[in-house]
Amino acid sequence: MIRRIAACSCGRLRVICTGDPVRISICHCLACQHRTGAPFGAQSRFHRDQVQIEGDSTTYTRSADSGNHLSFHFCPSCGSTVYWQLGAFPEFIAIALGMFADPGYPAPKISVWERTRHPWTEHLADCPMEHSA
């Protein structure tokens, strides 16, 4: 069975996931842009029984543009948002895709809140790449 580990920047908050995620998506809503500091957020959803959480977290709860409540769990030491709980879908845990730090991680299949998407994100693959040694 596949086992993946997501961790914050300092490694004190970890989420161990077994099996495949049930959904991998990106969200272009303004709240995700604020949370990540990026033009979109990327998440993997796992069934709660696929997830083991290790370490302490601090929680921030907010309402989404959809009206649903989300509880974000971030590391109290480094501040990285590692996972969140979706009020409308309590059986799932969403994990920030970048926390897996795995370039081979499966690609998102769903994109939401397109009305606030940065138009230039459509062309990211066309950007010239600068490679480091």
Residue 23 pLDDT grade (very low, low, confident, very high; cuts 50, 70, 90): very high
Residue 15 pLDDT grade (very low, low, confident, very high; cuts 50, 70, 90): very high
Residue 92 and residue 81 in contact, taking contact as beta carbons nearer than 8 Å: no
CATH code: domain 3-118 is 2.170.150.70
- Predicted model pTM: 0.83
| Least confident among 6-10, 78-82, 102-106 | 102-106
For the four alpha carbons of 63, 94, 49 and 74, in that order, the dihedral sign comes to negative
Q: What gap in Å lies between CA 25 and CA 27, rounded to an integer?
A: 7
Do strands 69-74 and 58-63 pair parallel, antiparallel, or not at all (unpaired)? antiparallel
- For the chain, what are the domain ranges? 3-118
**Phi, psi for residue 78 in degrees, rounded to 5:** -105, -15
